[in-house]
Chain A
Amino acid sequence: MEVFLSGPLRDAVDGATSIQVEASTIRELLTRLNDRYPKLNVHMDDGIAVAIDGTIYRDSWETVIPENSEVFLLPRIVGG
């Protein structure tokens, strides 16, 4: 699948706006990304959100990523 990145996460994947990753869950996605791009590790520690077809998942790593989904990696959001 094609995974899009925005914000500071792009710097961790050598400036790419999207990368190809095979993954069926958020856990698989993050694990494979972490293996390929160690610079993502610091962002993983801070927390990464995953948007699947517009729905943002913060911590649910078992969430299934349906085929042909639009997948974005986003910085973790905080609020007041």
Chain B
Amino acid sequence: MSDSKYTGQDFKVVGTRVKRPDGLDKVTGRARYGADMNAPGQLVGLMLRSPYAHAKIKKIDTSKAEKLKGVKAVITSKDLPDLTDGNAGLYDTLENCMARDRALYDGHAVAGVAAIDKSTAKKALKLIKVTYEKLPHVTDVDEALKPDAPAVQPRYAQEGQPSNFMSQGVFGHGDIDQGFAEADVIVERSYKTGQTHQGYIEPHACVATLSPDGSGELWVTTQGHFSYRNTCAQLLGLDFAKLKVTSSEIGGGFGGKTHVWMEPIALALSRKANRPVKMVMSREEVFKASGPTCSTSMEIKLGAKKDGSIVAASAVCRYMGGAFPGIWGTLGGMTAFACYNIPNNKAVGVNVLCNRPKVAAYRAPSAPMMAFGVESTMDQLAKELNIDPVELRLKNVAREGTLAPYGPVWGPIGIEPTLEAVRKHPHMKAKLGKNQGRGVACGFWFNIGGQTCSDLNIGADGTVNLTVGTIDVGGARASLGMIAAEELGIAYEDVRVNIGDTSSLGHNDTTEGSRGTFSSGMAAIFAARDAVEILKSRAAKMWQIPVESVVWEDGTAKAMGAEHGNLPPLSLKEIAAKAGNTGGPIAGHHEATADGAGVSFASHIVDVEVDPETGKTQILRYTVVQDAGKAIHPQYVEGQFQGAAAQGIGWALNEEYIYGDDGRLQNAGFLDYRIPVCSDLPNIDTKILEIPNPSHPYGIRGVGETSIVPPLGAIGNAISNAVGVRMNQVPMSPPRILKALDDAMADANSSEVA
């Protein structure tokens, strides 16, 4: 493994704002997304989905559909034998892709059809007769933990626990009982957050081809084409190497495209029909049958001395993971008090099943909910103590050397600098008007490393292809091209970055956990340095001198020493032009498990105005301060900060899955599930801090996720400061705010009467 420690090197390309390589294609419509691919002779695949939240599937009669002219394949779970060999997680995926004996949520797939066109496929779906036996259902996280709640997955039920309790993660240190006993002031509150969807604009889409000989191809919108390949191959009994998966451009993922949903079904339909099959989810299907985030309920308790020293903290948060187990509560427990140095703290994250779709990651998964509770309670504690909320946070902030709540001692971290930047920011001094309020909140999220493999090839004209296996979801191609140019000493414009398919590179882990630029950036550095060694050896051959006498500086080979020092430097282009005569193509390569991913912190400021007549909250001004480690392409980093904040604003104010008493999703479309549009948002101001990650040569930390963590708490605090009501439920939608205002008015009136 090459030394990946931070060196503090100076940069020429890194840190500049070069043109994005995908911009022209995207604004001219040339970029090819999941639904833009077509194959000769392709069929249209559609899915039949359960209309019930929970039902036994007694019988599926596909005979009439199969006889319909133009239908080429119909499959049910009988066409998908269990090949998972006892792997519980893989079996969950199989069952989620297509229901087996029971439909577990509204929208769960029960059969698939491939036909010559969409009209025929739709007719075929209507001809499939499914005999269901409705079963009791549960869609609320607290209801699911009651002793008499229907068991969503009896195979996971544990003796002595509610049937839908899956697991819990307990984190922290110290003695919270003793800590609370020592506290002068204790604030304890309960909160709930709604289930939200990532809201990516591009629906899931793929074109699958699978031959009877077991070789196939999959074109798909995904955050991890290697993971998709491996999962599909395992579920369908294929050799990994015989299934080539190519990733399309991606129109948003945010965690929702880290898992397969319908892709194995498309391949199975193709195998049965012996023709390519294209499947594109409708928006309704995306909402009902892909992976939203958890809904939660929680209790947060903070105890402090009169001087503002927080001596104890506890959190219990229940995470609704849909119909399959997840680790969402565990992640939430790890993040709860990460921003603070609290001697006695305990956070419990509980994983709970419900009759809702299988939850997937959503940008810093599980952290925003816990942060909503903690940051809301923090402001209420500040009020009780009569201390400025920012000062309270700074007084208790985590620093290098602080024990992280999940165990290790923090290295250099950026939460204190972000809070200091907030304190000094002009935004904090701007005047506020009537019904306007300002809120601040902090957030933490991990970054991850993982397996990465990259190739760098230098053409005869000296231009460079860098091939990486991490999907570009947020500008990685620009950043990685800049890194390669920096290392080689050439212009950014001379590098083209490609996302290789699964047959062209070794395994690359999925682009998740803000890992793309961290891990592939590391691979790009070392692949380029590998190529530089070859460039030096080729220069030595051209000069007929020992390679030890050659150094690489500013994109040129230079001969060193008294004997050779007068030789004119050779540029990369000059060496590349002679590659055929000096040993053949020049290339660099690197594969590794990239470890040492940093951690990431952010602090946000928001001003809101609440209309007391309608309950509508308008975001007036928003500022994000986040530690990026090293901003390779600052404009992209700012875009990540802004995008994450925008999603957090939507989550805070409007977005929510609404289920009826029948267990069916009531708002599976963007008209009824309202994500923020431009008119809802101000220009989101950003401030990038750079506290280098000591375990990356350039100091890179992931930047994509953390800034979705603070908005819920920051907006809740701002609303409280604007109109004096504390919102304990997200989304803080107009009806909820109106009710809170009415309740506050009623309380005030009853106090006057008394």
Q: How far is the CB of B251 from chain A (nearest CB, A)?
A: 15
Q: How far is the CB of A49 from chain B (nearest CB, A)?
A: 9
Q: Is the CB of A80 within 8 A of B255?
A: yes
Chain A 8-22, CB-CB to B under 8 Å as 1, else 0, gives 101000000000000
Chain A residues with CB under 8 Å of B169's CB are: 6-8, 75
Within 8 A of A (CB), among B311-362: 327, 330-331, 333-334, 360-362
Is B712 in contact with chain A by the CB < 8 A criterion? no
Q: Is the CB of A79 within 8 A of B408?
A: no
With both beta carbons as reference points, the residue of chain B lying nearest to A59 in the complex is identified as B593
Is B699 in contact with chain A by the CB < 8 A criterion? no
Is B170 in contact with chain A by the CB < 8 A criterion? yes
How many positions in chain B have a CB within 8 Å of any CB in the partner chain?
49
Is B168 in contact with chain A by the CB < 8 A criterion? yes
Q: Is the CB of B408 within 8 A of A51?
A: yes
Is A70 in contact with chain B by the CB < 8 A criterion? yes
Q: Out of B168, B258, B514, which one reaches A8, CB within 8 Å?
A: B168
With both beta carbons as reference points, the residue of chain A lying nearest to B514 in the complex is identified as A79
Q: Is the CB of B513 within 8 A of A78?
A: yes
Task: Using A79-B515, A80-B254 as known contacts, say yes or no to A54 and B408 having CB atoms under 8 A apart.
Answer: yes
Q: How far is the CB of A34 from chain B (nearest CB, A)?
A: 17
Most buried by B among A7, A57, A80: A80
Task: Using A7-B334, A79-B446, A80-B361 as known contacts, say yes or no to A55 and B596 having CB atoms under 8 A apart.
Answer: yes
Is B409 in contact with chain A by the CB < 8 A criterion? yes
Is A46 in contact with chain B by the CB < 8 A criterion? yes
Q: Is the CB of B361 within 8 A of A6?
A: no
Chain B 66-93, CB-CB to A under 8 Å as 1, else 0, gives 0000000000000000000001010000
Most buried by B among A8, A45, A59, A78: A78
Give Cα A63–Cα B596 distance, bound, in whole angstroms. 12
Q: Is the CB of B512 within 8 A of A54?
A: no
Q: Is the CB of A60 within 8 A of B595?
A: yes
Chain B 119-160, CB-CB to A under 8 Å as 1, else 0, gives 000000000000000000000000000000000000000000
Chain B residues with CB under 8 Å of A59's CB are: 450-451, 593, 595
Chain A 60-78, CB-CB to B under 8 Å as 1, else 0, gives 1001000000101011111
Q: Is the CB of B361 within 8 A of A7?
A: no
Chain B 489-516, CB-CB to A under 8 Å as 1, else 0, gives 0000000000000000000000011110
Task: Using A8-B169, A60-B595, A75-B169 as known contacts, say yes or no to A80 and B363 having CB atoms under 8 A apart.
Answer: yes
Within 8 A of A (CB), among B561-620: 593, 595-597
Chain B residues with CB under 8 Å of A8's CB are: 167-170, 330
Give Cα A8–Cα B327 distance, bound, in whole angstroms. 10
Q: Is the CB of A78 within 8 A of B408?
A: no
Q: How far is the CB of A80 from chain B (nearest CB, A)?
A: 3
Is B695 in contact with chain A by the CB < 8 A criterion? yes
Q: Is the CB of B593 within 8 A of A70?
A: no
Q: Is the interface of B mostly helix, strand, loop or mixed?
A: loop
Chain B 445-463, CB-CB to A under 8 Å as 1, else 0, gives 1111111000000000000
Task: Using A56-B597, A74-B407 as known contacts, say yes or no to A80 and B705 having CB atoms under 8 A apart.
Answer: yes
Q: How far is the CB of A35 from chain B (nearest CB, A)?
A: 20
Q: Is the CB of A80 within 8 A of B89?
A: no
Task: Using A77-B446, A79-B446, A80-B512 as known contacts, say yes or no to A63 and B406 having CB atoms under 8 A apart.
Answer: no
Is A32 in contact with chain B by the CB < 8 A criterion? no
Q: How far is the CB of A10 from chain B (nearest CB, A)?
A: 7
Q: Is the CB of B595 within 8 A of A58?
A: yes
Q: Out of A46, A55, A79, which one reaches B513, CB within 8 Å?
A: A79
Give Cα A45–Cα B87 distance, bound, in whole angstroms. 9
Q: Is the CB of A58 within 8 A of B449?
A: yes
Q: How far is the CB of A79 from chain B (nearest CB, A)?
A: 3
Q: How far is the CB of B327 from chain A (nearest CB, A)?
A: 6
Q: How far is the CB of B29 from chain A (nearest CB, A)?
A: 27
Q: Out of B89, B170, B361, B593, which one reaches A46, CB within 8 Å?
A: B89
Q: Is the CB of B407 within 8 A of A77?
A: no
Chain B residues with CB under 8 Å of A53's CB are: 408-409
Q: How far is the CB of B295 from chain A (nearest CB, A)?
A: 17
Chain A residues with CB under 8 Å of B449's CB are: 56, 58
Task: Using A60-B595, A80-B364 as known contacts, say yes or no to A4 and B450 having CB atoms under 8 A apart.
Answer: no
Q: Is the CB of B89 within 8 A of A7?
A: no
Is B372 in contact with chain A by the CB < 8 A criterion? no
Q: How far is the CB of B52 from chain A (nearest CB, A)?
A: 30
Q: Is the CB of A79 within 8 A of B512?
A: yes
Is B171 in contact with chain A by the CB < 8 A criterion? yes
Is B365 in contact with chain A by the CB < 8 A criterion? yes
Give Cα A34–Cα B681 distance, bound, in whole angstroms. 52
Q: How far is the CB of B694 from chain A (nearest CB, A)?
A: 8
Chain A residues with CB under 8 Å of B447's CB are: 79
Task: Using A74-B407, A79-B365 as known contacts, say yes or no to A7 and B333 having CB atoms under 8 A apart.
Answer: yes
Q: Is the CB of A51 within 8 A of B595?
A: no
Q: Out of A10, A63, A77, which one reaches B331, CB within 8 Å?
A: A77
Give Cα A57–Cα B253 distance, bound, in whole angstroms. 25
Give Cα A71–Cα B581 distance, bound, in whole angstroms. 52
With both beta carbons as reference points, the residue of chain A lying nearest to B445 in the complex is identified as A79
With both beta carbons as reference points, the residue of chain B lying nearest to A52 in the complex is identified as B408
Chain A residues with CB under 8 Å of B258's CB are: 78, 80
Q: Out of B253, B450, B451, B595, which one reaches A55, CB within 8 Å?
A: B595
Q: Is the CB of B333 within 8 A of A78?
A: no
Q: Is the CB of B595 within 8 A of A56?
A: yes
With both beta carbons as reference points, the residue of chain B lying nearest to A5 in the complex is identified as B407
Give Cα A33–Cα B605 distance, bound, in whole angstroms. 46
Q: How far is the CB of B294 from chain A (nearest CB, A)?
A: 12
Chain B residues with CB under 8 Å of A55's CB are: 411, 595-596, 695
Is B198 in contact with chain A by the CB < 8 A criterion? yes
Q: How far is the CB of B88 from chain A (nearest CB, A)?
A: 8
Q: Is the CB of B595 within 8 A of A57?
A: yes
Most buried by B among A8, A51, A54, A75: A54
Chain B residues with CB under 8 Å of A51's CB are: 407-408
With both beta carbons as reference points, the residue of chain B lying nearest to A61 in the complex is identified as B593
Give Cα A75–Cα B513 distance, bound, in whole angstroms. 14
Give Cα A63–Cα B449 distance, bound, in whole angstroms. 14
Chain B residues with CB under 8 Å of A70's CB are: 408-409
Q: Is the CB of A74 within 8 A of B406?
A: yes
Is B410 in contact with chain A by the CB < 8 A criterion? yes
Q: Is the CB of A79 within 8 A of B255?
A: yes
With both beta carbons as reference points, the residue of chain B lying nearest to A73 in the complex is identified as B407
Give Cα A51–Cα B365 distance, bound, in whole angstroms. 20
Task: Give 11 CB contacts A-B under 8 Å.
Answer: A6-B170, A6-B334, A53-B409, A56-B448, A58-B449, A77-B331, A77-B334, A78-B258, A79-B446, A79-B702, A80-B364
New A-B contacts (9) at CB < 8 Å, excluding given A78-B365, A79-B364? A8-B330, A45-B89, A53-B409, A54-B409, A58-B593, A74-B406, A75-B334, A79-B363, A79-B365
- A positions within 8 Å CB-CB of B: 4, 6-8, 10, 45-46, 51, 53-60, 63, 70, 72, 74-80
Which 5 pairs between the two chains have the least Cβ-Cβ distance? A80-B255, A79-B513, A7-B169, A72-B407, A80-B361
